[in-house]
Structure 1
Amino acid sequence: MRLIGAGGRPGDDNAVLTTAWTLPNLVTVIRFLGVPLFVWFITEQRYGAAVVTLVVIGSTDWVDGYLARRLNQVSVVGKWLDPVADRVALIVVAVTFVVDGIAPAWLVWAIVIPDIILILNALVLFRGPLHLPVITVGKIRTALMLVGAPLLLLGQVEGFQQDWIVVLAQGMLAVGCVLHLVAFWAYLIAAHRKYRLERAEQQSCPP
């Protein structure tokens, strides 16, 4: 069974819908809504409920992609909404963990700084946001973080306060951060490659 790219069927024409009203996009919106709910649970120190919320947030990251491919509902909106939802969820969860003392500060810096650099790079080169195809390393990075984060939080829940859970979670998050830097470098190179290609096409066109 495939986890990455699951739901795709032989012979799909990969048509991209222009409408935003699709079931996969609804699942992505639910992921957005789960983020403030998670923050509220943490502020109330309801760690068990926060773990469940994180599991739902993480599972929707796989579900929306599966549904989009299975139902042939890949859309223009979904192609940028899904990665934006991932970034928002990861950043907010990391910041909340650090503020609450659950995780060290390096978790935030390892996620936020590369993202800021990519945003500034896109603004300088393209005068706006740049939506590049999601690479496999990025998908694995996101999966590790969306699994490692609930595990780390599970170590705060009464009855699950085991050292091995925390160590496993920290290891997954550390590997996720390393892959985040790898993905950052790949996206940076891809952005500059696209910029050079567009410049070359503009220069080759007659005035």
Structure 2
Amino acid sequence: MSSQAPRERTRTAAPSERVWTVPNAISGVRLLLVPVFAVLIFTGRDVAAIVVLVVAGASDWLDGVIARRFDQTSRVGQLLDPAADRLYIFVTLIGLGWREVVPWWLVLVIAARDVFLAGMIPTLSRHGYGPLPVHLAGKAGTFALMYSFPLLLLAGRPGTLGDVASTVGWASALWGVGLYWFAALLYLEQVVRIVREDRAA
């Protein structure tokens, strides 16, 4: 019986199957900007790359507000939104690592977290669940990382601007990594609880 309650709540609050919504269109545009951003960051056009990154971050906030305000939450949106966030983080990290702006261990620590989460998907599928809802800690970690990247790009500038950008950027990046992994542990706890409840049933 304890296993059925969470399933009922999931069905009641389930997002719609709509595809053509305003938030999904915004997420789609954000995805289309990923290759543009990749070219900019790999070719050292930092100002333009920062502009695209800021636009992507603002659109991420906007599509969430619209989805909640106008009841346009959908399954497609729940997949597109985190996918776009992860792509921007991945492309930025690879670009910054390739340009030696950040060490490769930072790239590996963040990539390992996503591999860790991907490993939970087969277990969730076997128990009749799709991807778990994005946790607030995960969103906060993503925001901190996205906030840190423009600052890390500016960290190479000479003078006070570069010093301040480096300090704040690294503080934000490390805080983001901590929240990112904290959210991963919360997801793991949810998966373990689902498995135990189903076995008990």
TM-score (structure 2 length as normaliser): 0.84
> What amino acid does structure 2 have at the position aligned with 1:29?
G
Shift of 1:179: 0.9
| Aligned residue pair count | 189
State percent identity of aligned pairs: 37
Cα distance in 2 between the residues matched to 1:27 and 1:158: 36
Structure 2 gaps, min length 5: 1-11
For 2:56, the equivalent position in structure 1 comes to 57
Q: Does 1:174 align with 2:174?
A: yes
Shift of 1:117: 1.7
Contact 1:154 1:160 in 2 (8 A): no
Cα distance in 1 between the residues matched to 2:196 and 2:53: 40
For 2:5, the equivalent position in structure 1 comes to none
Question: Within 5 A, what are the aligned runs for 1:8-27?
Answer: 16-27=15-26
Question: Within 5 A, what are the aligned runs for 1:22-61?
Answer: 22-61=21-60
Shift of 1:159: 8.8
Deviations 1:28-87 (A, max 9, x none): 112212221111012221111011111111112211101111222111211222122222
Single out whichever of 98-107 and 190-199 deviates more from structure 2: 190-199
Q: Does 1:134 align with 2:134?
A: yes
Q: Does 1:68 align with 2:67?
A: yes
Structure 1 gaps, min length 5: 1-12, 202-207
For 2:3, the equivalent position in structure 1 comes to none
Question: Within 5 A, what are the aligned runs for 1:58-207?
Answer: 58-124=57-123, 126=125, 130-156=130-156, 162-201=162-201
Deviations 1:84-114 (A, max 9, x none): 2222221221122111212111221121112
Shift of 1:160: 8.2
Contact 2:124 2:131 in 1 (8 A): no
TM-score (structure 1 length as normaliser): 0.82
Single out whichever of 101-110 and 124-133 deviates more from structure 2: 124-133
Higher helix share: 2
Over aligned residues, Cα RMSD in angstroms? Answer: 2.4
